[in-house]
Structure formats: structure tokens, C-alpha cells
Structure 1
Amino acid sequence: MSDIEIAQQNEQSEIKPIQTIAKQIGLDQHDIEQYGEYKAKVKLTALDQRSLPKDHKLILVTSINPTPAGEGKSTVTIGLGDAMNRLNKQTIIALREPSLGPVMGIKGGATGGGYAQVVPMEDINLHFTGDMHALTSANNTLAALIDNHIQQGNELHIDQRRITWKRALDINDRALRNVVIGLGGPFQGVPREDGFNITVASELMAILCLATSITDLKARIARIVIGYTDQKQPVTVADLKVQGAITMLLKDALKPNLVQTLEHTPTFVHGGPFANIAHGCNSVLATTAALKLADYTITEAGFGADLGAEKFLDIKVPQLGKHPDAIVLVATIRALKYNGGVALADLQTENVAALTAGFVNLKRHIKNMQQYGLPVTVAINHFVSDTAAEVTALQELCAELGVKAIDTEVWANGGAGGIDLANAVLASLAQPATFNPLYDNQASITEKVTTIVQKIYGGDAVEFSTKAQRQMQTFITNGWDKLPICMAKTQYSFSDEPKQLGAPTGFKIHIREFVPDLGAGFLVALTGNVLTMPGLPKKPAALNMDIAEDGTITGLF
């Protein structure tokens, strides 16, 4: 049975009204705004009235580098939350919203799978509560206001060759990466080069996920640098005097979305920045809401621990005001064998030697997380092809690092398949967690980037392009050099070369340019050939999707 068939079967018979889910976590009908029967937004006033308990536990779920073999980080996150509630541990899950680009492309949605899913999965994977549309509209409204300012006399002397703000669309569309606008004569605008980001890679998405209130959101939007003058001075949204208008378009999108799992665990699904381009974490407001409303919060960070988890710990934690009390690292035996050199078609066959060889990838991720001072548990996301010998071998390899590896079957059995993992995580919470940030923001840009490359990626050094070097000097002049670093890098490798699997060494990371996301509060370092507007594959997932006369959707995973 496919994921959507499992979800639909349960939605028809067991999904609860969202008011019931809200009541479970102490919210009444005045605290929420319903979007149909099974979705709601939580009013910010409902959160303002509650304080953050000191004894609440935060659990971060991350993973090894993604492979075509699959890892299932969201599935494990959801299954772990269900398992915790089965153990009578009041738990809320906090996830990111899916982007339409991966949904229609190759990666898929972000609602879990099997019997560890959030529902209604069709709604969440498609338009949901309209947050992505609001972000897209706000982003493109700002772009239109910039071009209108230039057309109407350009009082700020914006150099149209140095406009850095791009338009956005929440679908993979490679044809829009580089475009020319304003053609057709003087009444059509000023011709210039432009381009599109996918919405989830936009600075507005990052800002939405880091903002703590409407006031904070407006202040962050005001700080956005949209380009430079003909004297090479930065121009901000505040200079354009439109921060109020752009904030207004996001007033509802800022409110966290509440849904449920198949087992009725309350789940916030809010914000969706990519982790290979942006910081890859759900919103601070949603995580804070979970922290205030339950005893345990389980959240996830995008892609592997080298990207999402590092950014969660070095970018989000200072904004959240709380570090994780424990980390769960998701791995599959299939993916580790793939890292060990086994072809995709041969992963069904037992191969302990390849598993052992591929373990270097998981080993580096474990050690990376341990250097933050946090206890780590490995979740083996079980596939039917896994053998007892392979599971035992992986558990023994993890034990050598002082880490428990728990065989987990949440896809097949939901929360019941995650009980052992939940007990292991609860035990790890009894261990001391002295959080050690990776770097000091007061260090230089070069030092911060080099620290990430050497301590997280395992590389030797960093190579900065001439453009990147010039930008760093500009950032120092403008006083932007004390911000944290958000590395934009391929998710498939520790290096910036996607095909270097395992745990490569002796490599350099190549920084081609920086993007100052002052509203988000970090500097984006673009490495290798990473793209901020992905493309669709030869056979996109959209080819398998359909809808019947009665509205039933098929082929959505």
C-alpha cells in the first residue's frame, strides 16, 4: 500500500477534528483559526500568554547524507513522536512545510511515510494554508516595487546592474534561473538581468522562520539588502519604505500551522527553508509553541547533519534561546551500503563489508554532533531487506563510539515500531548536555567558514573566489562580518562535489560568492555549483499524479 493510500484510509476513519487536537495541548477554539476541519493556525496571542518551561526537553532529529537509497528522517521524527506519546510522554512534533518543487519533482513531500505520517497529507503537500503563496507574493511584490522605483525616477540611485533581490516561484523551473526583464520600450520598465529563486530558498522564507513576532518580522524585512547604488552603497527595504506593506502580506503566514499524525500526535508544520541553500529548520515560532505546550518537542533539520543540524545548532539555537537536549541520527543500512560502493540495484543483497566501509559517513556525523556536547542516538530506519547480521554489525560499529543504534520500524508499525528508540532517547536525556557552539560570531568570516569546513565537513581548507574576497571586504566595511555563516552546499557529500560519497578527506571547499541575508541575520556562502533554483528531473513525480471526479488524489507518493 502506498503512503497516500495509507493516509487516505486512516483519514476517512480516524482523523480527529483539529479542535480536539488543539484541546489536547491546552488550546481552545479562541486560540486557533481553522482552515477546514483538520488544519488550523495558532494565534500568536495564544503563545504570548504562555512562558517557556525550564524542564522541557527538545530532541533534534537529523541524518546521514541523503542517497537514492532513502533515509526517512521525517518518517522517523513522526514515528518517534507517536512512540513517545504511547509511553505517556506528552509530546509535540515540529516539522517544515513541503515545497511544491520537490513534491512535483523527485525528492517527494515532507509528511513522513507508511504508518508514520502527518495528515491530511494531500493538503499539507499541496497548498496547505497558503503560506508558500503568501511568501511568493510578498517576495514578488518587493521585486515589483524595486523596478517601479527605478522606472519612476530612481530617487535612491539604485544601480540596476547591482540589484541582488530576485523574484521567486515555489516550483523547480530551471528556465527562470536567469532572465531579462523590462523589454518592449520605455513604458515596460528598465531592461535589466534578473532571476528567480525557488520560494523556499528566498530570504523571506528564512526571515519568516526566524522571526519571533510581527514587530520582529517587520524589522527583519526592513534590513533586507535589495541591491547597491551607483556609488556601491547598500540599499535596503527600509530605504524603499515598504517594510510595512511586505510584512502585511505575511501576517497570517507567520502563525504556526497545527495538524496531527495518524496516531493523533499534535504536530506543528510551519516554514520550509531548504537546508542545502538556506538554514533548513522549521520556524522559531512553531518550535517555541511546541516547547510551551508539551513536555517534549521533537523537531527535524533538513538533509544531513552537515547541513541542517549544523545550521540548527549555530543559527537557529541562538534565536530560539534553547539548545537540543538530545540528538537522533537517522541512517539506513541501504544508504550506508551505497556509501560503501554498492550499486543501487544491488542494495537488497546482504553485504556487511560494504556496510562497514560506508559506516565512515555515519561515523563522521556522529562525531560532529558529539563535539557540540550533546548525547547522540542512532535510529536505524528499518527496510525489509535488512538482515540480522547487518543490523548487528551496525550496532556494534556505533557501540565502539559509545552510541546506541536502535532498529526502528515506524514506517511499517507507526509508533509501536519506535518504542525502543523512544526509550533509548529518554535514557539519553538523562545524560549531561553542555552545549558548545561551533564558532564565535566575532571571529572573521574566513575563520568561521574554515571552522565549518574543517570541523564538520572534514575538509582541509577553503578556496575563495576573487568575487567572494571582494565581498568579504565590503561586508567588513559595512559591519556585516559578525553574522553567522549559512553554507549553501550539495547535500549529497561532505565536500562540494556530489559524487564524493562516504567521508572524503584532503579536499577544499570552493566559495564562489556570498549573499548577505541581513534580514535573516546570516551570510550565505555559495559553494561549488549549488543552485538556488533547482530543475525538474527527466521523469518528474508529477507524471504519476492524478485526481478523480470525486476529488480523490492518486500518485502523491
Structure 2
Amino acid sequence: MTEYLSDLEIAKRSRIRPISSIAEEAGIPFGAVEPYGFYKAKIDTAKINAKPSGKVVLVTAMSPTPAGEGKSTVTVGLSDAFRQLGDQVMVALREPSLGPVFGMKGGATGGGYAQVLPMEEINLHFNGDLHAITTANNALAAFIDNHIYHGNPLNIDPRRITWKRVMDMNDRTLREVIVGLGGPFKGVPREDGFDITVASEIMAVFCLSRDIHDLKENIAKITIGYTYDKSPVTVKDLGVEGALALILKDAIKPNLVQTIEGTPALIHGGPFANIAHGCNSIIATNTARRLADIVVTESGFGSDLGAEKFMDIKAGRAGLEPAAIVVVATIRAMKMHGGVAKDQLKAENVDGVKAGIVNLEKHLENLRQFGVEPVVALNAFVTDTEAEVDFVRNWCADRNIKMALTEVWKKGGAGGVELARLVKEVLAEKQNFKPLYELELPVEEKIRTIVQKIYGGDNVVFSDSAKKQLNTIKDNGWDNYPVCMAKTQYSFTDDPKKIGRPTGFEITIRELIPKTGAGFIVALTGDIMTMPGLPKQPAALNMDIDANGNAVGLF
């Protein structure tokens, strides 16, 4: 009988090498490595002199479902497969947030035999980056309230403060709060609220800055609110950008770890893709490009969210172009998008796959609009049948789409070699990458372009509040920023229940939030929340620690 091991058990049984050995293999100078224990390190990128030249392979996915798709697992397994083929490769990932770790989604270190190690430390506090980002965010909130308490020389209107506090946990109770109660010595009473740390603009600035100097300049540009005459107030006006950058001076250095097979991995920054831009830091990606010929990275959720933001926000800021794109798909997800219930996924249902493959089809069409040829990674599950897999294989072949059955969860890099070979064929070809829209377009036209070309919608409806905010954006000269759509990950629409490939719908924009430090406009749709809540049965209920201090039940 086959022994079933959890991801954590597989990780604990795996051989992990000293981080100094991984750094040496990656070509990182000894003086650039700052160890955090035996198996983790920070990298001082200022001591790496090579120019970024490695080719970037972006991993995205079809629309996620409760059945799970395994995008991070494929990302890690693909990097190990390249290594098995003799390529100089690094993988660049986002850092996990404690919100989903203790909530419903789980961690972000891959799974099975395609994981990054040490998985339990990475999924918990790692090297402290998210704590530093949380501290910087909340320090700014304290500076704002202190400024008002001590006379408010900038004439900030407390009713128009847009900066919120954050914490790295799902806590719906903190979405709306009142601060400053208790009399004159306790501050000025006003409405406030909390976002989750990964939705903080500090996180976005952190991930979209090229170095510590760029970080400081971008922090200075953050708009924290408005004066009584509705003029924007920035961090530079408060004069605290230096202090905030100081808090982040160590966090801004990317983190070096390793996969189970010893492939060097940089894990740095972790914005969500449904409420933020969903990509790891520019610093980590470009550092990997300096050290490796191939860099495998991922963007959050499906192509309509993380991948679109990678193309239209990150790529331009980082000065890179994706040389190939992998789209992770599963038979299970196709069945769910085809209307098959979750408890019926184990039974063969080719008709269900046929009905749900339209979701994958739309994602492939989306990516081809950016001028880069996608490759489908059909992530294998034990319940998949030969007839179901053959249907997908033939469907891809009929449309001249490269597809590989991928078994990295079970086999590690060996299960991704076919995929790696197909990706290398794309890497050998010239791609014609281009963003979806020109930055000179009005904000409302950028949003309409995303809705019509990426989501397949008919039109966009702006709330009265969003219309007023459009005027504010134009009046302040912020209309040349790209757009960061905040939308459910489960559907192309703003309704998570409309799965598959919906048509004939409109997207409603209820609010527009200028993120002037990050350099984009957030467009909130549907009922998307910047502070998620925990599910009825959070993953935390299965977690514990044993008498020897070892994690238990962490996936």
C-alpha cells in the first residue's frame, strides 16, 4: 500500500543543503550572502555586478477553483526540470501571507516533491519581511495621527485620510474602526480601518522599486489623504520617507532558499493578485536574471489578474519582457467550470471537461494578445482518466497549442521535463511582447480595455463615487498610471458564481484608489475586500506544534 505523505512530511524527509552551498552554486559572491540560520539568507544585490539578461518564464493559470490547480507547484517543478536538463536556472516566488496560511488557501511553497525549503519557516514568519512592511505601514499611520494631534500644520482633513493600518491576518472585524476615542489626550477621533498587509501600498512600492534609493523616492510619493481644500498630502510633505525606508533596509534584500532538488530560489514580496498586483519583487526577479539564464516566476491567480498585471504594471517598471508563458490547467478545474459538482470530480466526465475547457481557451486567447505564445501545463491528479487527458491533448493539438502532462507533485523535476522542453522551444523563438494598452489612454479607457479584451465583458459601469474619483485623478495628473483591477479570482466577471466563460456582462467599478507611490490606480469591483475574513473552518484548526517544537498540520 502506497504511503501517503503530506507536503510538510515530504519537506521534513527531504535533504536540505546549507544555504552557503546553494549561494555558491548560484554564483552569488560570498560577501553578498547574509545567512539567516543554516538554510536561509538575504542577498545584498549591490554586490552582484552582472547585468540582468536571463530569460523570464511566467507561470499563470486558468481561473482557480476550490479543487486547486497547483500553480506554485508547477512553477517550482518546472525550475527543477530545467535544472535536470542542465540549464542554469533560478525560481522567483512571492512570500506567503499568514492570512491564507491560517485561513483557506494554504501556503505558497509548492507541494509534494516540487517545494521550496524550509517550507514551514517560509510559510510562517520567514525572514521578517512582512513584519517590516506591516511596521512601516503602521508607523506612517502613527505619524499622520501624531501630526494632526500636534496642531496639524499641513491642514490635513481627518475625514479625507486615505491611509489605513494593516495586519498580516484575515480579520474582518477590523475593516472599519474608530480611533482617537477617550478625550483630548488620546488623539483626534476619526473613522479608520485595516487592510491585510499584502494589500498595503507599502507592499506594492516594495515590490515595484528597483533598489533602496528607488524605494525611498516611491515612498515619498505616497498620497496619504487630502487637506481641507482637497489638495493631496504625501509622505514627502510629512518628511518621514527616510524613516520608513530605514525600517525596510533589510527587508528590501531578496531571500535565498532552495527547492527540494537544490535549485536556487528567491522568495521576496507577496502582494495578492485579486486586490493588488500579484507579483514578486522586481529586485528578486532582476537579481535572478543576473545569476541565471532562465528565471521561472509566477503571478497570482489566473491570466485575467496576476498575468495581466505582470504585463501591464511589472514588466515595464522592471525593464523585462516574458520570453515564454506557462498556463497551469487541471482536469478537475475544467470539470468545475463545466458545471460538475466538487463531490463528483473523481468520476470520469469527458463532457464536463469539454464544457469547462472554454475557461482555459479564454486565458490562452488573453495571453496571445500580449504577443507571447503560451504553453499549457496539464497538472496531473490521480483521478484524471486517460480519456479526459486525451481530450485535452487533442483539443490543444487542434489549436496548435503546446501542451505537456505535468507530474511534478509526484515526481519532482522529472515530472516536468516534457514541459521544460516545450518551453525551451518557445524560448528559442522570437516573441513580440507588448502591453495591452498605452499609458496615455484615460483611466476609464484602460479599464474598459481590460474588461473587454481580457474579461470578455461588454462594458464598464462607474458608480457615482468612482466618477468623482475619476475627476480627482485627472485634476491631480494621475491619469497616466496603469490600472490595477481588484476583482474576484473565480470568474472573469465581478460575480464569483459566474464561472466558465461568461458573456454579455458588465463590470461595475465602485471605487478608484490612486496609489501614487506604487504608480497605479486600483479599481475596486464587486464586493472584493482589502481585508479578507477567515472561513468557517480555517486551516488553523488542523495546526499544532509537538513537544520538540516541530510544526504539525501545516498542509
User: Is residue 348 from structure 1 mapped to residue 352 from structure 2 by the alignment?
Assistant: no
2: CA distance, partners of 1:440 / 1:109: 35
Q: How far did residue 213 of structure 1 move? A: 1.1
The corresponding residue for 1:526 is: 524
Letter in 1 for 2:322: P
Give the aligned partner of residue 50 of structure 1. 50
Deviations 1:153-206 (A, max 9, x none): 010111100000000000000000000000010100000000000000100000
User: TM-score, normalized by length of structure 2?
Assistant: 0.99
Aligned pairs (5 A) from 1:321-360? 321-360=319-358
Could you say which residue in structure 1 is the equivalent of 2:12? 8
Equivalent AA in structure 2 for residue 374 of structure 1: V
Match of 1:26 in 2: 27
Q: Supply the RMSD in Å over aligned alpha carbons.
A: 0.7
Give 2:458's aligned amino acid: D
1:37 aligns with 2:38: yes
Choose the corresponding residue for 2:154, options 138, 156, 168: 156
Aligned counterpart, 2:415? 417
SS of 2:30 mapped into structure 1: coil
1:450 corresponds to: 448
User: Deviation per CA, 1:44-83, whole angstroms, max 9, x where unpaired?
Assistant: 2123x22123xx3210000011100110000000000000
Q: Which residue of structure 2 lines up, in the alignment, with residue 84 of structure 1?
A: 82
Q: Which residue of 1 is the match for residue 536 of structure 2? A: 538
Q: Deviations over 1:496-532 (max 9, x none)?
A: 0000000101110000011110110100001111000
How far residue 398 of structure 1 moved from its aligned partner, in angstroms, is 1.7
Alpha-carbon shift at residue 375 of structure 1 (Å) = 1.2
2:492 is matched with which residue? 494
Q: CA–CA distance in 1 between the matches of 2:220 and 2:426? A: 42
Mapped partners of 2:114, 2:521: distance in 1 = 36
Report Cα offsets for 1:369-413 as digits up to 9, x if no partner: 011110110000000000111011011112232212211100000
| Deviation for aligned residue 1:41 | 0.5
CA contact (8 A) 2:484 2:521 kept: yes
Q: Which amino acid aligns with 1:39?
A: K
- Contact 1:79-1:410 at 8 Å conserved across structures: yes
CA distance in 2, matches of 1:458, 1:27: 45
Query: Could you say which residue in structure 2 is the equivalent of 1:75?
Result: 73
The answer to whether the Cα contact below 8 Å between 2:45 and 2:287 also exists between their aligned partners in 1 is no
Matched with 2:401 is 403
Question: Aligned partners of 1:27 and 1:57: how far apart in 2?
Answer: 18
Q: Residue 549 of structure 1: CA displacement? A: 1.5
Paired amino acid for 1:41: K
CA shift at 1:430, angstroms? Answer: 2.2
| Deviation beyond 2 Å, 4+ runs, structure 1 | none
Amino acid at match of 1:555: G
**1:19–1:28: 8 Å Cα contact kept in structure 2?**
no
Q: Distance in 1 between matches of 2:295 and 2:320?
A: 12
Deviating more after overlay: 489-498 vs 390-399? 390-399
1:28 deviates by 3.0
Q: Quote the residue 2:461 is aligned against.
A: 463
Which of 483, 489, 498 is the matching residue for 2:481? 483
Distance (whole Å) between structure 2 residues aligned to residue 443 and residue 327 of structure 1: 27
Is the CA contact (8 Å cut-off) linking 1:34 and 1:41 kept in structure 2?
yes
Measure the CA separation in 1 of the matches of 2:45 and 2:115: 26
Q: Which residue of 2 aligns with 1:134?
A: 132
Deviations 1:65-114 (A, max 9, x none): 11001100000000000000000011100000000000000000000000
- Partners of 2:211 and 2:52 in 1: CA distance: 16
Q: Structure 2: how far apart are the matches of 1:156 and 1:92? A: 47
- Give aligned pairs, total: 551
What's 2:554 paired with? 556
- Give the TM-score taking structure 1 as reference length: 0.98
State whether structure 2 residue 384 is matched by structure 1 residue 389: no
**Aligned residues of 2:179 and 2:191 also touching (Cα < 8 A):** yes
Q: Secondary structure at the match of 1:30?
A: helix
Give the gaps of 5 or more residues in structure 1: none
Rounded to whole Å, the distance in 1 between the matches of 2:392 and 2:428 is 24
Q: Aligned residue for 1:320?
A: 318
Tell me how far apart the structure 1 counterparts of residues 318 and 397 of structure 2 sit (CA, whole Å). Answer: 32
2:7 and 2:52 mapped to 1: Cα distance? Answer: 35
Question: CA offsets, 1:299-332, max 9 Å, x none?
Answer: 0000111000000000000011111000000000
| Contact 1:372-1:435 at 8 Å conserved across structures | yes
Letter in 1 for 2:314: K
Which of these residues, 212, 216, 228, is aligned with residue 214 of structure 2? 216
Counterpart for residue 104 of structure 2: 106
- TM-superposed deviation, 1:259: 0.2
* 2:59 maps to which of 53, 57, 61: 61
Contact kept in structure 2, 1:203 and 1:520, CA below 8 Å: yes
Q: Which amino acid aligns with 2:451?
A: V
Alignment partners' CA distance in 2, 1:353 and 1:382: 18
SS in 2 for 1:325: strand
Residue identity opposite 2:50 in structure 1:
R
Q: 1:250-399 to 2 correspondence within 5 Å?
A: 250-399=248-397
Which amino acid letter does the alignment assign opposite residue 526 of structure 1? Answer: L
Letter in structure 1 aligned against 2:56: L
Corresponding letter in the other structure for 2:244 = I
Classify the secondary structure of the residue corresponding to 2:83.
helix
Are the equivalent residues in 1 in contact too, given 2:62–2:303 (CA < 8 A)? yes
Identity %: 60
Q: Secondary structure at the match of 2:153?
A: coil
Q: Measure the CA separation in 2 of the matches of 1:309 and 1:222.
A: 28
Partner AA of 2:196 in structure 1: I
Are 1:221 and 1:243, in contact at CA under 8 Å, matched by a contact in 2?
yes
SS at match of 1:66: coil
Residues 219 and 517 in structure 2, CA contact (< 8 A), matched pair in contact too:
yes
SS at match of 1:326: strand
Contact 1:375 1:429 in 2 (8 A): no
Q: Is the Cα–Cα contact under 8 Å of residues 338 and 356 in structure 2 kept in the other structure?
A: yes
Residue-by-residue CA offset, 1:323-352 (whole Å, 9 max, x unaligned): 100000000000100000000000001111
How many angstroms apart in 2 are the aligned matches of 1:349 and 1:112? 26
Partner of 1:438: 436
Tell me if the contact between 2:463 and 2:508 (Cα under 8 Å) persists in the aligned partners: yes
Q: Distance in 1 between matches of 2:383 and 2:402?
A: 21
The unaligned stretches of length 5 or more in structure 2 are none
Give 2:92's aligned residue.
94
